[in-house]
């Protein structure tokens, strides 16, 4: 696994993470203007931003079926922090990382750079 260093802080949103599983039905809302790969979804457990490619949209109802599991957990990071890359999602512009204390979550690609 590769290491990255935080070059910008990342603060997490004030809402609980949403964990979606394959086959789950959700309601699809607006597309994110900063991160166009994401749409706002509403599920029984709450709301969260999810890459639209993880959903099969039903144009008539405005609902969707989850076709790939997704966890919206974001990780708060501070400048200078070293993190381990678990998964890169270059299509959406985010990377799933693990902190030294074991916490994991998404951070924007532009908040980290390769660590030597």
**For the chain, domain boundaries:** 3-13+74-114, 19-71
The three-point CA angle 50-98-103 to 5° equals: 85
- Pairing relationship of beta strands 112-114 and 3-6 according to DSSP bridges: antiparallel
At residue 116, the pLDDT reads: 67
Q: Do domains 3-13+74-114 and 19-71 have the same CATH topology?
A: yes
CATH topology of domain 19-71: SH3 type barrels. (2.30.30)
At residue 59, the pLDDT reads: 82
Burial 33-42 (b: 16+ CB within 10 A, else e): eeeebbbebe
Average of per-residue pLDDT across 81-104? 96
What 3-state DSSP class applies to 7? coil
User: Which overall architecture, per CATH, does domain 3-13+74-114 show?
Assistant: Roll (2.30)
Residue 50 structure tokens: 């999810």
Q: Model-level pTM?
A: 0.91
At residue 1, the pLDDT reads: 73
């Amino acid at each position: 696994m590769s290491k990255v260093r935080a070059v910008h802080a990342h603060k997490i949103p004030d809402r609980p993470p949403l964990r979606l599983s394959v086959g789950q039905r959700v309601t699809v809302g607006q597309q994110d203007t900063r991160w166009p790969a994401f749409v706002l979804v509403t599920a029984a457990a709450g709301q969260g931003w999810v890459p639209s490619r993880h959903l099969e949209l039903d144009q008539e109802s405005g609902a969707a079926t989850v076709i790939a599991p997704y966890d919206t957990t974001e990780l708060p990071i501070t400048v200078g922090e070293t993190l381990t890359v678990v998964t890169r999602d270059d299509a959406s512009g985010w990377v799933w990382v693990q902190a030294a204390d074991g916490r994991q979550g998404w951070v924007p690609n532009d908040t980290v750079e390769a660590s030597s």
